[in-house]
Amino acid sequence: MRWDNLFDDLESQLEHELGVEDLELRVEEERLRLGRLSLRNRMRAASEVDKGRRAAPLRLWLVDGSTLRLLPVTFGRDWVSGDLVADEREEMGAHRASIRALVPLDAIASVGLDDAQLADSLHAEPDPDASRTPDAAPRLIDRLGLAFALRDLARRRSPLTVTTRSGVLHGTIDRVARDHFDLALHDPGSPRRPSNVRGTRIVPMASLILVRV
């Protein structure tokens, strides 16, 4: 074998081995990235709009067996809020259901995505962690928990339909504590007035499935 052919062969073999190592490294990095993704990461990425596409709702199956189609607007640390799309409103139209909903992430049993949403969700970025630089720190909304969202509803005195693991309640949130809230019970659509209130129910946040506003 001529020396130039030998060196060409060695160079080709080395390039091949380096290419394999680089591919294995990229595969491992991708595996680690996927391993850091949360449900929240993937839902948020699937609901972002780019390349001229219209936003598409996410199909959510909740732990009580119900389903809804939600067009996410805001993601907190452990909750998502957004608009119920047409078929959900039509299904509950006779009850004058609200068009805005808040869902604790723990209440989601599964999420249905179309092909484009699935691809987008797999390109999500993990949440920044404490070891990253301050520039990569989470946004304020990313750190706000369910209690904050409920306190905002209490401040607005918004009449609500609250679905819990044991049933559905109608009323207005009077106050929010660390792990529960007080719901003044009254008929759907009626304001929270002493004459309308039938009592108060303390609702643990752990039992909350869905809030319709």
Instruction: Answer yes or no: is pLDDT of 33 > 80.
Output: no
Q: Which residues, 6 or more positions from 61, have their beta carbon under 8 angstroms from its beta carbon?
A: 67, 108, 109, 110, 111, 112
Residue 184's pLDDT is 97
pLDDT of residue 143: 85
Tell me what the mean pLDDT of segment 16-41 comes to: 77
Average pLDDT, stretch 105-134?
83
Distance CA 78, CA 201 (A): 23
CA distance 104 to 54: 25
Flag whether pLDDT at 97 surpasses 70: no
Predicted confidence (pLDDT) at residue 88 exceeds the cutoff of 60? no
Whether residue 150 has pLDDT greater than 60? yes
What rounded mean pLDDT belongs to the chain?
84
Q: How far is CA 42 from CA 123, 182, 203, in A?
A: 8, 32, 29
Q: Is the per-residue pLDDT at 128 higher than 80? A: no
Return the higher-pLDDT residue of 157 and 127: 157
Cβ atoms of 111 and 59 within 8 Å: the answer is yes
CATH 2.30.30.100 at 39-212, yes or no? yes
Question: Per DSSP, what are the bridge partners of residue 163?
Answer: 168, 210
